[in-house]
Homo-oligomer: A and B are copies of this chain.
Amino acid sequence: MKDFAFTGGRPDPYTFPTEALIEASAKALRKLGGQLVNYPGESGYRGLRELASMRFERREGVPLPVDNTSITSGSMQALELVLGTFIKPGDTVLTEEFTYSGTLGIMRHLKANIVGIPMDYVDGMDMDALEAQLKALKRQNVTPSLIYTTSNHQNPTGAILSLERRHRMLELAEEYDTLIVEDDCYGDIDFVPNPTPASLFKLDTSNRVIFIATFSKILGAGVRQGYFVAQQPYYGMIHHNRWDGGTSALASAIVAEFFMEHLEAHLETTNAAVGAKCQTVIDTLEANVSDLCTWTKPRGGLFLWIDLPESTDMNKLSELASAKGVGYSNGSAFHYAGDPVKAIRLAYAYCHVDDVPEGITYLAEAIRSAQMATVDAAAAD
C-alpha cells in the first residue's frame, strides 16, 4: 500500500539538494578543519548567524543583529529555551486559538495557563478579541507572560497576520506590558510574490518581540538548525537557561555554506514544488468535497486546514483514511485547550506530487463516508 503522508511539517524531499550539500560540506570542513575541536559557543557558529541575518535582510530590508542571534536545534529548542525562560507554572500565555502542537506541548509541560484568542484563517489573530482578553485579565490583575504568534503562513491554518493587526498587536503588548514571541518558522515559503507583511520583530520599537526562525522548513528538519533573536536583557536571560554547549558547528557550517551560495535558487525551486502540491491538494478537494467542506487557500507555508461538517465521525474518518494509507493531523491537536474540533490539517509538502491526487481522493472519499447519518436518523424519527 502506498503511503500518503500529509502529517508533520516537513519540506519537499524531492528537491532536497544532496549534491550541493556535499559540496557545501567539503567547503565547510576545509574552512574549519581543526577549529572544530572547539566548542561552538552558546550562540553557535557565527557564519550561520550571519546567514540568518542576511536571510532576514533579503525579505525585510534590514539585517538581524548577529550578536543577538543564537543557533538552536531547530525552532523547537528555541521555543523550549524562550518559553522556558519566560513562563513559570501558572503563568498566563496568549496564542491563536489554533496553533502549533509542539508549542502547546511545551507550554503545557511548563504548566502555563494557555488562553486561545479567536482568529480567522486569512488575517490571523483577532485583535479586538486579544484586547478584550487583555482587559479581562487586567481586571483580574493578571499580566500574561507573553503572546505567542506564528505571524507568517501560520501552522495549522496558513493565516498571515495582516500588517494592521501586527501594528495593533505591538500597541497592545506595550499597553498591557507583555512580550511577543514571533515564530517565523514558515517565512520564505512563499507561493506568490511578497505575501507577508513586515515582521513584528522589525516593526517593534519597544523591545518586546523575540523572534524565532529555522532552516528546517526550507531545507530539512533533520539538519536541526533554528535560531532565536532577542535584544538584551532577554538574550542573556534566555542563555542563562542554556546548558547544552551550543549547536553543532559542523551542521551549522554546512548549512551556512549551502545557503550562502544557493538561498535564492533553492527557495525558487522548493517553493515552486511545494506550491504545486498545495494547488493539487486544493484542486482535488474542489473536485471531490466542495459540497461538504471548506478549506484554506495558503499563500505559502506547509499547511492547509480543512473544516469538516459537524456530522463527521472523526474516529471513523481516521480509520477509513488509515486503511487507504492516508495520514493527516487531527484538528484538536492544534486547539489551545485540546478541544475536539471537526477539522484536520494537511501538510502537503512531503508526499510526491504525482501521489497527491490519489491520496486526496481517498481522503475525500473517507470524509464522505465518515458522515454520520444525521438527516436519515432525523427522518426515521
B-binding residues in A (CB < 8 A): 8, 10-14, 16, 18, 21-22, 25-26, 29-30, 32-40, 72-74, 76-77, 79-80, 102, 105-106, 109, 219-225, 241, 243-251, 254-255, 350
Contacts and interface: CB of A to CB of B under 8 A. Distances in A.
Contact of A224 (B32, B102, B249): B249
| Number of identical protomers | 2
A76 B16 CA distance: 31
Query: Which among A8, A38, A72, A254 has the highest number of chain B CB atoms within 10 Å?
Result: A38
A-B pairs, 9 with minimum CB distance: A13-B34, A25-B25, A76-B245, A36-B222, A77-B244, A222-B249, A16-B34, A224-B248, A36-B220
A34 B17 CA distance: 8
Query: Which among A40, A102, A109 has the highest number of chain B CB atoms within 10 Å?
Result: A40
Nearest to A80: B243
Nearest to A243: B80
A22 B14 contact: no
A245 B77 contact: yes
A108 to B, nearest CB: 11
30 contacts: A10-B37, A13-B33, A16-B36, A18-B33, A18-B34, A22-B25, A22-B30, A26-B26, A35-B222, A36-B222, A37-B219, A37-B222, A39-B221, A40-B222, A73-B73, A73-B246, A74-B244, A74-B245, A76-B245, A102-B243, A102-B245, A106-B243, A221-B245, A223-B248, A223-B249, A223-B250, A224-B245, A225-B248, A248-B248, A248-B251
A79 to B, nearest CB: 7
A223 B36 contact: yes
A221 B250 CA distance: 10
Query: Which among A14, A222, A249 has the highest number of chain B CB atoms within 10 Å?
Result: A222
Contact of A254 (B40, B80, B241, B250): B250
A358 B241 CA distance: 39
A265 to B, nearest CB: 18
